[in-house]
Amino acid sequence: MQAWRRLTPRGRIVGVFGLLAGLAGVVFTQRDLFWLGAFAFAVVIGALLMVSWPVKGLRHERRLAVTSVPVGTEFGVWLTLTSSGGGLPRMLHFEDVVPPSMGIRPRFALSGGIPSDGYRVGYRLTGAQRGRFRIGPLLVRSLDPFGLARNDMAFVTTTEIAVTPKIYELGGLRAGSSGSSAEARSARAGLVGQDDVLVREYRRGDDVRRVHWRSTARAGELMVRREEQSWQPTTRLLVDNRRCAHVGGGPDSSFEWAVSAAASAGLALLGAGSILELADADGLSLSPDSDRSVRSQQLLYEL
């Protein structure tokens, strides 16, 4: 049964013809008809053996020009095929599995097997829909020269590509509403008098220039000014991801617009030096502890 499934429609016709012709030659004692049927049946058996013979050392490598692209952007994919050689000559058809939203599956064929120096082919896809997708696996179909039999194989490796939200350039966006950190420190300093300076007990190793003599005289022991803490604005970005809060579907839905708006505002805030917390209907989902470059990439992945 497995051999029958490996036959192409042409191979099944030739095989059935050979079997019937051979039987008819025996029944009607027609030697020529018998040998014709036997030859046709033998060709089909030979085709099955040819495609069942393994392609020795067939390997492939898939490389992407980028690991992430904004929605609506094209990107390149390159496939490199190598083989250790050997095996029977045959036609090899290749098909790389891609997400339906990115386009048509690329197909190409090689006659006579893989060249000794390898074979490299490239194609382009479009990230039309936001999300994380996997490209692959690579499908291989082996055909005999007469197209009578086939053998399908598949690699297991895949490659991930992230399609991030569309980003809009936002001008004049500042991190927080309290101005710069210097302005905020000045504003806070103006709210306390000279006698309300934050102090603490003297510790060994403290700079004597930080001693606050008025507080020392009042407390009866050395008191030093506390170090002024640097201030960095924190912004919480809320994305309402509830289904009932949006209309439409696919790339043109209101939810996709909200995601693009959130990503654009988030990157602008990160660029302005803000600590960003991304939250959705389920709660906090992005930690503000990582560095800025990691946060920018993580923001796009989270959205």
Which residues are registered as beta bridge partners of 122?
78
Give ∠ CA 23-28-30 in degrees, rounded to 5.
85
Q: Which of 174, 168, 111, 189 is nearest to 143 (CA)?
A: 111
Assigned token pair, 254: 């209101």
Give me the pLDDT at residue 298, please.
Answer: 66
Whose tokens are 């895949």? That residue is 158
Give me the pLDDT at residue 79, please.
Answer: 96
Give me the pLDDT at residue 174, please.
Answer: 58
Distance CA 34, CA 210 (A): 111
Distance CA 108, CA 193 (A): 79
Give me the pLDDT at residue 184, please.
Answer: 44
Give me the pLDDT at residue 161, please.
Answer: 95
Mean pLDDT by 10 residues, the chain (303 residues): 87 94 92 94 92 81 93 95 73 93 93 82 94 94 90 93 89 53 43 58 84 89 74 77 82 85 85 79 61 59 65
CATH code of domain 59-164: 2.60.40.10
Residues 6+ apart with CB under 8 A from 192: none
Distance CA 214, CA 17 (A): 112
Whose tokens are 């094209």? That residue is 74
Chain-centroid distance, C-alpha 2 = 36
Whose tokens are 């936001």? That residue is 130
Distance CA 293, CA 274 (A): 13
Q: Which residue type is seen at 131?
A: G
Q: What is the DSSP letter of 227?
A: P
